């Protein structure tokens, strides 16, 4: 599958965001643009929020309204053509909600991630049996196809974050994550072993907040801050729960969550001491 196909939902979201910025800069209301383009305001809203593919014909009509120059016009049209293709994660629709598919597409294109996980191992760094145990707990009726799909999805994400084009990955885990025996002791021994390997990668900064720290910033709050291309960089905060995936992109929200992460990281052990702690915990299993 080509890189273009992998990026489709990601491009759709970025294109919609850029079209919304251009409309606002041109001081045009959604109703004014919808009437000129010949679509409903509901359709325009879906386009600007990345919920619907954008026909190149719509982009051609919007560009004069927004006073878009020839270079950006060509870029917007190219994005519109590419974003209509299915994404890499679309084949996992039976195990992923649409809003989570968007996250995985963004994760695979991110230039940097800041992750705080207070209760589970960060998804891409879970070993297969840990993935299966989490999936069974969340959905006891999961069949083998779903379990295998979840493991395959985890491997794709692992490859994205550890391959040749891997981003900068900063992860802070609560020690409680490592002490909960998800899947049993053998699974956690394997899990701790993988985390130790990942923690030694050049692009990964993995740190553990030990129990003796006590209360710390972001305690109990799991989130991911993603820095996305292209220029200018745009950061997005992703907050996941069992029921909903929430995305925040206001500069004040980004700043708040980056500060929360930085404070949590200051409470954590160094990279080397984090690996030492994981080694001791594994030895005790």
Write the CATH number for 56: 1.10.260.40
Q: Which helix (H) or strand (E) holds 95?
A: none
Shared-domain flag, residues 108 and 75: no
**How far is it, in rounded angstroms, from Cα 76 to Cα 63?**
9
Shared-domain flag, residues 151 and 29: no
Shared-domain flag, residues 77 and 129: no
Q: What is the pTM of this model?
A: 0.79
The DSSP bridge pattern shows strands 223-228 and 112-117 to be antiparallel
Shared-domain flag, residues 96 and 69: no
Shared-domain flag, residues 254 and 113: yes
**Residues 280, 248: contact at Cβ < 8 Å?**
no
Range of the domain at 18: 3-83
Q: By C-alpha distance, which of 161, 162, 192 is closest to 281?
A: 192
Residuewise pLDDT in 10s, the chain (285 residues): 334 344 456 677 778 988 999 999 999 999 999 999 999 999 999 999 888 888 999 999 999 999 999 999 998 998 888 776 666 666 666 676 656 777 888 898 899 999 999 999 999 999 999 999 999 998 898 889 889 989 999 999 999 999 988 999 999 999 999 999 999 999 999 999 999 999 999 999 999 999 999 899 888 889 999 998 765 557 889 998 766 678 888 889 999 999 999 999 999 999 999 999 999 999 999
Q: By C-alpha distance, which of 273, 262, 274 is closest to 195?
A: 274
Q: Count of domains in the chain? A: 2
**How far is it, in rounded angstroms, from Cα 266 to Cα 281?**
22
């Amino acid at each position: 599958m080509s890189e273009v196909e992998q990026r489709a939902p990601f491009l759709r979201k970025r294109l919609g965001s850029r079209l919304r910025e251009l409309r606002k800069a041109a001081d045009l209301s959604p109703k004014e643009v919808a009437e000129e383009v010949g679509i409903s305001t509901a359709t325009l809203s879906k386009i600007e929020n990345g919920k619907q593919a954008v026909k190149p014909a719509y982009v051609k009509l919007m560009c004069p309204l927004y006073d878009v120059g020839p270079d950006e016009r060509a870029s917007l049209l190219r994005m519109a053509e590419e974003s209509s293709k299915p994404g890499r994660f679309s084949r996992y629709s039976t195990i992923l909600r649409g809003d989570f598919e968007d996250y995985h597409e963004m994760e695979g294109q991110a230039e940097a991630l800041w992750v705080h996980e207070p209760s589970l191992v960060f998804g891409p760094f879970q070993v297969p049996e840990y993935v299966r145990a989490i999936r069974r707990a969340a959905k006891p009726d999961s069949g083998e196809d779903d379990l295998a799909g979840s493991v395959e999805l985890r491997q794709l994400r692992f490859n994205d974050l550890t391959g040749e084009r891997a981003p900068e990955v900063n992860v802070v885990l609560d020690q409680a994550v490592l002490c909960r025996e998800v899947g049993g002791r053998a699974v956690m021994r394997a899990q701790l072993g993988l985390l130790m390997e990942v923690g030694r990668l050049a692009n990964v900064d993995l740190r553990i907040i030990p129990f003796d720290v006590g209360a710390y910033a972001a305690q109990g709050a799991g989130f991911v801050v993603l820095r996305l291309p292209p220029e200018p960089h745009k950061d997005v905060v992703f907050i996941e729960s069992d029921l909903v995936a929430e995305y925040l992109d206001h500069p004040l929200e980004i700043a708040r969550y980056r500060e929360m992460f930085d404070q949590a990281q200051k409470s954590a052990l160094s990279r080397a001491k984090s690996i030492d702690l994981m080694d001791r915990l594994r030895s005790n299993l």
